Amino acid sequence: SVTGDDGYIIVNAGFGKVDTSSIDVTVRDISWWFDFPTPVVKLVLLEYIKLYEDLEKSLTALATDRIFLTHSLDYLEAYNKRPQQGEEATKNNAYLLSFDHKPRYVPKQYMLHALELAYLFDINVKPFIENWYYLELEDVFYEEDVELKNKFIDLVAGFMKTGKPDQKLHTKNNVAWAPYDSLKKSYLSFSLHPSVGDDIIRNRRAVWETLVPQWLKEHQISETKEEL
Q: What is the mean pLDDT of residues 121-143?
A: 95
pLDDT given for residue 227 in this prediction: 66
Tell whether the model's pLDDT for residue 155 goes beyond 80: yes
Range of 193's domain?
Answer: 2-227
Number of domains in the chain: 1
Tell whether the model's pLDDT for residue 167 goes beyond 90: no
Tell whether the model's pLDDT for residue 159 goes beyond 60: yes
pLDDT given for residue 89 in this prediction: 54
Tell whether the model's pLDDT for residue 186 goes beyond 70: yes
Residues forming a β-bridge with 224? none
Between β-strands 16-17 and 12-13, what pairing exists: parallel, antiparallel or unpaired? antiparallel
pLDDT given for residue 134 in this prediction: 97
Whole-angstrom Cα distance, residue 99 to residue 93? 19
Q: Any idea what the CATH number is for the domain that residue 215 is in? A: 3.40.50.1820
Tell whether the model's pLDDT for residue 92 goes beyond 80: no
pLDDT in tens, 70-83: 999 999 999 988 87
Tell whether the model's pLDDT for residue 169 goes beyond 90: no
Whole-angstrom Cα distance, residue 112 to residue 9? 7
Tell whether the model's pLDDT for residue 224 goes beyond 90: no
Whole-prediction pTM value? 0.90
pLDDT in tens, 21-71: 999 999 999 999 999 999 999 999 999 999 999 999 999 999 999 999 999
- Binned at pLDDT 50, 70 and 90, residue 88 comes out as low
Q: Tell me which of 176 and 227 has the higher pLDDT.
A: 176
Tell whether the model's pLDDT for residue 228 goes beyond 80: no
pLDDT given for residue 61 in this prediction: 98
| Contact (CB, 8 A) for 134 and 12 | yes
Tell whether the model's pLDDT for residue 11 goes beyond 90: yes
Percent of the chain with pLDDT over 70: 96
